[in-house]
Amino acid sequence: MTDFRTHASRRGGRLDLRHLLLLPLALLLGTGSAEAQGTVEIDSRIQEMVAQVSAENLEHLVTTLASFETRNTLSSVDDPDRGIGAAREWMVQELQGYSSRLQVGLDCYDVAASGRITRDVEICNVKAVLPGRTDRRVYVSGHYDSVAQIPSDAEGEWPEGDNPAPGANDDASGTAVAMELARVLSQSGLEFDATLVFIGFAGEEQGLFGARLHAKRALDEGIQIDAVFNNDIVGNIRAGDGQINGTAVQVFAPGPDDSPARTLARYAYRFGKAYMPHHDIRLVGREDRFGRGGDHTPFNYWGFAAVRFTEVMENYARQHTVDDTADGVYFPYLARNARVNMGGVASLALAPEAPDVNSPNGNPRLTRGESRYAAHLEWEPSQGATSYRVFIRDGWSMDWQQVYEVGNVTEYTFEGLSIDEHFFAVAAVGPDGHESLASPYDRPPRVIEEVETR
């Protein structure tokens, strides 16, 4: 792996050094790979936004959400103090107060009774949009609906709607992360390349209804969603068996290895770690916790990149009960998880779009080059990019192991490097050093047709 390295070590692009501090990538890749090269540019403006994430504000948001007693999707929409209607009305007002740049509103759907939705109901997500230079979107989400079993309920029965369900950790905590990032990012005065969307989904507890409806509509309307940072159960540090951890978070991303979700997970790790180096970001290569689900999954199902953040120490005894109260949320820990989100979300929203590495027929533009023994990569230029980075990992690795600054070019050749034994991706870098998602050179699995016999 060393023979080609000298061909690729030059740096490209101009960096605005007023804002930036260069860190060796080897410190940030987490794999401890001695071969890792390249840099992550630390932007002092993102550092400032990370610092502005406030545990006190998060506590205010979670305790207020819990104070509506229940936010069950089937609870009252008319009571001014209690139920999901009062909760979403308050969220809209709170978000509107952050900045006139935020476009705040409800995203509603009429849903017929089915399964745990025991009567026809209007499901309303709460959405705040911070327009960027482009329409492509980066999401931060949680679900603001809640649910609680009634002790007298039969096993497995789902309550109809009006019993107390404070839902402080599940998932006022994730909703508060989305709202707090909306506050800090909308008040930053920065202009982002991507449009930022902060959203609280409803109907999650009945079967991901709000997220399913929203993601499918985005697909049908051709809306480009580049990333969904979904936060669900992110504020508790003490497991039911007494284990405690307030310095780690899980990030779930289903495969295959170069899926949009895993591409986003690698990015969330790289830039979460850059801005929160003392937080243990644990990538998990599965869809969700074992046998459980969340709002990132419909987005992945319809082809968007989405990951789920969840605390590492869940307390199952409090989830989906009247005991899911704000005293079970440790706000300094919730703030750390919000800051990890901020590192990834702000970096991605400031970066250019990821380059297209496929030809019009959908095949990746990765060949063996003229020599037939090289790795030759081509890609389309990304608007606003001033340089590109090539990422390489070997054939049985999950994390990128090498990063090359290849300059402002749209093709690159690594002479003597096998395209069979390695995986490749290219990211675009903007004038201030912000890096896009890495576009993988990936082929869909071969379709095998049954042979007709006679």
Among 4-12, 226-234, 253-261, 362-370, the segment contacting Zn ion (CB under 5 A): 226-234
Rounded least distance, CB 365 to Zn ion, Å = 41
Beta-strand runs (E) in 265-415: 280-284, 306-311, 366-367, 375-378, 387-394, 402-407, 411-414
CB of 167 to Zn ion, least distance (A): 8
CA quadruple 136, 353, 382, 420: dihedral, nearest 10: -130
Stretch that binds Zn ion, among 61-69, 231-239, 265-273, 333-341 (CB under 5 A): 231-239
Q: Which of residues 125-184 bind Zn ion (CB under 5 A)?
A: 170-171
- Site for Zn ion contains 295 (CB under 5 A): no
Q: How far is the CB of 205 from Zn ion (least distance, A)?
A: 7
Peptide bond before residue 256 is cis, with ω within 30 degrees of 0: yes
Shorter beta-carbon distance to Zn ion: residue 83 or 294: 294
Least Å distance between CB 174 and Zn ion? 7
3 state DSSP class of 125: strand
Cα-Cα-Cα-Cα dihedral sign, residues 20, 22, 25, 30 = negative
Exposed/middle/buried for residue 286 (C-beta within 10 Å: 0-12, 13-18, 19+): exposed
Number of residues that bind Zn ion (CB under 5 A): 3
96 or 163: whose CB is closer to Zn ion? 163
Nearest by Cα to 262 from 92, 442, 416, 435 = 442
Sheet arrangement for strand 248-252: 103-111, 121-130, 195-201, 137-143, 225-231, 306-311, 248-252, 280-284
Kindly tell me which of 79 and 323 has the beta carbon lying closer to Zn ion.
Answer: 323
Min CB(172)–Zn ion separation in Å: 10
The pair of structure tokens assigned to 448 is 């095998």
Minimum Å distance from CB 154 to Zn ion?
A: 22
Under rule CB under 5 A, residue 311 binds Zn ion: no
Burial of 291 (0-12, 13-18, 19+ CB in 10 A): exposed
Q: Are 44 and 21 in contact (CB under 8 A)?
A: yes
Strand pairing partners for 129?
103, 197
Asked if residue 232 binds Zn ion (CB under 5 A), the reply is yes
Between 8 and 147, CB nearer to Zn ion: 147
Least distance CB 204 / Zn ion (angstroms)? 6
Binders in 70-109 for Zn ion, by CB under 5 A: none
Q: Which is nearer to Zn ion, 171 or 314 (CB)?
A: 171
x/- letters, 320..349, toward Zn ion (CB under 5 A): ------------------------------
Buried b / exposed e along 265-284 (16+ C-beta atoms within 10 A): bbbbbbbbbbbbeebebebb
Instruction: Give the residue with the Cβ less far from Zn ion, 201 or 441.
Output: 201
**Which lies closer to Zn ion via its Cβ, residue 169 or residue 188?**
169
User: Looking at 228-236, 239-247, 323-331, 351-359, which segment touches Zn ion (CB under 5 A)?
Assistant: 228-236
Taking the least distance from each CB to Zn ion, the nearer of 94 and 170 is 170
User: Which lies closer to Zn ion via its Cβ, residue 328 or residue 352?
Assistant: 328
Min dist CB 109 to Zn ion, Å, is: 19
Burial label for 30, CB within 10 Å (0-12, 13-18, 19+), is: middle
Stretch that binds Zn ion, among 65-73, 103-111, 232-240, 251-259 (CB under 5 A): 232-240
DSSP class per residue in 314-338 = --TTTTTSTT--GGG--HHHHHHHH
Shortest Å, Cβ 179 to Zn ion: 16
CA distances from 316 to 119, 167, 236, 253, 324 (A): 28, 13, 11, 22, 10
Tell me how far, at minimum, the Cβ of 224 lies from Zn ion, in Å: 27
Residue 203 or 364 with smaller CB distance to Zn ion: 203
Which string of DSSP letters, residue by residue, matches 367-386? E-TTTSSSEEEE-PPPTT--
Residues lying near Zn ion in the complex (CB under 5 A)? 170-171, 232
